[in-house]
């Protein structure tokens, strides 16, 4: 974690509210400044409009002031009114229209006598109204310029100028010029902001908004304070504080209140207040829009910051989880390596143990082979005793004969008998040698040897037993000797075992015959031991190669013969199988690899 992050985390509870507060403050400031700028712009615009419109208004109205005074100075009018020569000396209504009203654009021009009766009017009058009680008339009678804003019963808004007619320094009559104000408003139609003219009574005389016309401009409260009874007021209230010297009015416009900013100018000539208004709403909208945009920008910035932070956080977490994963992996690898090392050590121990067990097994096997041999010798010993007894008896009688013939000096006959003894001794020696070879413990030395040699020995070894069991033992040798690799003695044991079993098998048969043949087939040597016995039952076939399996009873069978045979053949890299052949019971086939 970086130092910055730690600081951020530590002061997060202060940081967040502080950021929110600062943002709020910034928004308020933006709102305030926007409003101020907009107000200043609006004020300048309003003041310009007001100055221009007031100037136009003044210019338009000033000519009528002059017009009333000019008419009052006409000699014919002075003369007529001065001499009470009333109607004859005065200009006609038509003249008034063409000379004054028509030219100036005034609505009406009246010539009034001192009693207030209208003598001449350029428009026809329904009755002869007397204007004696009118204020503007009184002002004129007193020698000054009378002025008044008037609204007729028909709703026509007029401005009236009344100028005294002097004759010999005496007021002899009054000239009244009535100006229709409506045309002044027309130019305001195009204005963006409302314009108002308020007369001396506080009434809206002119307005660019028709609905506002002829209403009281002052608020209900003001009117009450002024003790004026007016129902039709326009302004509901105005704020007491000024915004940059702009008054904020709440104007009742078409039944609903709207806030307006206002600048005003007093026109002393007419006794009017000219007001330029501007809708405050547009400023508020402008301010709110800027505040909203600022808020959105801030929100976007906050979001961007948030995204950046969360990305940073995610990256940090990823980095941490990667580190944790790497550590976990490292630990797993270490544990696994440790486990494997332990397993390896155990395996090594096991391998050693197995090697030892194998060695023991081999030794046991060899012991077994030896035991089996000895057992075989035990079986054979009776037969061998008989075999030895016969030649021994013969040797004795030949020796006796030789002794007798020597005493009789019959040397030839004695020699013949001694030769016979020699032959018999040789035969016995050969049998002893074979027996010694057979019983000799195997040396595990592998040598090239001929199968024929093995078979020659077997004939000598097994013939006596065959003879005893009355079995015909046939050895069918090939033309050429067949050579195999291994130990001579072990192969002779194999064949001896198979032949002994075969001789046992034919015991009950009428034809008692055992054939042993061997030959070369491609790169293999084949040895067949066939008998005319009953053959091997399928059930027995399954078990006959197991150790200690025998059907011969414990007296005559150990059940080790075929087990040992199978093991030795495996050592020779050969195979043993039982086959069937016509005229034979069991046929054992040994296949061995040929010697190079
Ligand atoms: P053993 O000869 O001591 O019984 P072996 O392992 O040599 O032990 O033989 C196992 C069994 O296989 C014999 O008991 C016998 O039943 C059967 N057997 C072996 N050779 C033959 C054969 N040539 N014909 C019939 N059965 C046989």
Q: What is the DSSP string of 457-493?
A: HHHHHHHHHHHHTT-EEEEE--SS--EEEE-HHHHHH
Q: Best substitution site from 562, 563, 585, 588 to test ligand 1's pocket, by max atoms within 8 Å of Cβ?
A: 562
Distance from C-alpha of 394 to C-alpha of 302, rounded to nearest angstrom:
130
Cβ contact 236:251 at 8 Å: yes
Distance from C-alpha of 281 to C-alpha of 248, rounded to nearest angstrom:
11
Neighbouring residues of 238: CB distance < 8 A, sequence distance ≥ 6: 219, 247, 248, 249, 250, 262
Long-range CB contacts (within 8 A, 24+) of 12-21: none
Closest CA to 98 of 109, 88, 113: 109
Q: Best substitution site from 369, 380, 512, 544 to test ligand 1's pocket, by max atoms within 8 Å of Cβ?
A: 544
Query: How far, in Å, is the centroid of ligand 1 from the Cα of 582?
Result: 20
**pLDDT tens, 513-530?**
999 999 999 999 999 999
Please list every protein residue whose CB sits less than 6 Å from any atom of ligand 1: 501-502, 505, 531, 533, 536, 540, 544, 549-552, 557-559, 561-563, 585-586
Phi, psi of 595, deg, nearest 5: -75, 150
Atom 19 (ligand 1) nearest CA = 501
Atom 23 (ligand 1) nearest CA = 502
Helix ranges restricted to H, 73-126: 75-82, 86-89, 93-95, 102-104
Query: How far, in Å, is the centroid of ligand 1 from the Cα of 551?
Result: 7
| 575-579/587-593 β-pairing | antiparallel
Distance from C-alpha of 515 to C-alpha of 283, rounded to nearest angstrom:
132
Cβ contact 530:469 at 8 Å: no
User: What is the distance in angstroms between the CA of the first residue and the CA of the last residue of the chain?
Assistant: 79
Cβ contact 578:586 at 8 Å: yes
Give the number of other Cβ atoms within 10 Å of residue 547's Cβ: 14
Cβ contact 176:152 at 8 Å: no
pTM (predicted TM-score): 0.48
**Greatest Cα-to-Cα distance within the chain, rounded to the nearest angstrom:** 239
| Length of the chain as a residue count | 596
Closest CA to 484 of 529, 459, 520: 520
CA 313: distance to chain centroid? 16
Atom 16 (ligand 1) nearest CA = 551
pLDDT tens sequence for the chain (596 residues): 556 666 666 777 788 888 889 989 999 999 999 988 888 888 888 899 999 999 988 988 888 888 888 888 888 888 888 776 556 656 666 776 667 777 777 888 888 888 888 888 877 776 667 888 888 999 999 998 898 888 888 888 999 999 999 988 889 999 999 888 888 888 888 888 889 898 888 788 898 888 778 877 765 555 556 555 555 556 655 544 444 445 566 665 555 667 778 888 998 888 888 988 888 888 889 899 999 999 999 999 989 998 999 999 999 999 999 999 999 999 999 999 999 999 999 999 999 999 999 999 888 877 877 776 676 666 666 666 766 777 788 888 889 889 988 998 888 889 988 988 888 887 777 667 656 655 555 555 678 999 998 998 888 888 888 988 999 999 999 999 999 998 888 898 899 889 999 999 999 999 999 999 999 999 999 999 999 999 999 999 988 988 778 888 755 666 778 888 888 898 889 999 999 899 999 999 999 999 87
* Residue given tokens 């035969």 in the structure block: 427
């Amino acid at each position: 974690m970086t130092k910055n992050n730690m600081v951020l985390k530590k002061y997060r509870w202060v940081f967040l509210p502080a950021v929110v507060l600062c943002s709020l403050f910034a928004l308020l400031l933006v709102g305030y400044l926007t409003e101020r700028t907009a107000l200043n712009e609006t004020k300048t615009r309003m003041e310009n409009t007001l100055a221009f419109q007031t100037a136009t208004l003044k210019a338009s109205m000033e000519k009528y002031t002059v017009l009333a005074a000019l008419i009052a100075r006409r000699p014919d009018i002075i003369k007529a009114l001065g001499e009470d020569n009333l109607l004859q000396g005065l200009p006609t209504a038509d003249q008034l229209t063409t000379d004054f009203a028509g030219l100036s654009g005034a609505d009406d021009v009246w010539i009034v006598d001192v009693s207030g009766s209208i003598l001449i009017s350029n428009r026809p009058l329904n009755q002869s109204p007397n204007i004696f009680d009118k204020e503007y008339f009184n002002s004129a009678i007193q020698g000054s310029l009378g002025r008044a804003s008037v609204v007729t019963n028909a709703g026509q808004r007029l401005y009236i100028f009344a100028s005294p007619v002097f004759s010999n320094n005496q007021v002899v009559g009054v000239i009244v010029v009535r100006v229709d104000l409506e045309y002044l408003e027309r130019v305001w139609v195009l204005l963006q902001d409302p314009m108002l003219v308020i007369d001396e009574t506080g009434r809206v005389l002119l307005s660019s908004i028709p609905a506002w016309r002829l209403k009281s401009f002052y608020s209900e409260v003001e009117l009450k304070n002024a003790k004026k009874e007016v129902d039709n007021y326009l302004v509901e209230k105005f704020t007491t504080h000024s915004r940059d010297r702009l008054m904020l009015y709440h104007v009742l416009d078409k039944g609903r209140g709207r806030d307006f900013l206002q600048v005003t100018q007093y026109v002393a000539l007419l006794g009017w207040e000219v007001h330029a208004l501007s809708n405050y709403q547009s400023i508020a909208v402008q301010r709110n829009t800027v505040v909203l945009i600022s808020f959105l920008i801030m929100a976007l910035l906050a979001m961007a910051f948030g995204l950046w932070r969360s990305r940073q956080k995610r990256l940090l977490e990823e980095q941490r989880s990667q580190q944790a994963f790497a550590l976990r992996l490292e630990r797993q690898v270490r544990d696994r390596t440790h486990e494997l090392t332990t397993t390896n050590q155990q395996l090594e121990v096991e391998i050693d143990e197995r090697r030892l067990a194998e060695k023991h097994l081999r030794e046991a096997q060899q012991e077994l082979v030896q035991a089996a041999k000895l057992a075989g010798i035990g079986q054979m010993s009776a037969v061998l005793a008989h075999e030895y007894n016969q030649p021994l008896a013969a040797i004795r009688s030949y020796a006796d004969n030789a002794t007798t013939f020597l005493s009789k000096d019959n040397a030839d006959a004695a020699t013949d008998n001694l030769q016979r003894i020699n032959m018999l001794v040789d035969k016995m020696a050969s049998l002893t040698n074979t027996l010694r070879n057979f019983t000799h413990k195997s040396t595990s030395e592998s040598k090239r040897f001929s199968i024929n040699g093995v078979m020659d020995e077997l004939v000598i070894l097994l013939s006596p037993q065959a003879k005893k069991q009355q079995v015909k033992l046939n050895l069918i040798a090939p033309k050429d000797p067949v050579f195999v690799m291994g130990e001579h003695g072990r192969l002779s044991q194999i064949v001896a075992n198979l032949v002994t079993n075969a001789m046992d098998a034919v015991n009950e048969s009428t034809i008692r015959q055992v054939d042993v043949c061997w030959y070369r087939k491609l790169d293999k040597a084949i040895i067949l031991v066939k008998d005319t016995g009953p053959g091997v039952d399928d059930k027995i076939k399954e078990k006959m190669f197991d150790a200690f399996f025998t059907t011969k009873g414990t007296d005559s069978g150990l059940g080790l013969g075929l087990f040992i045979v199978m093991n030795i053949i495996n050592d020779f890299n050969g195979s043993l199988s039982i086959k069937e052949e016509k005229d034979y019971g069991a046929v054992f086939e040994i296949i061995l690899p040929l010697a190079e």
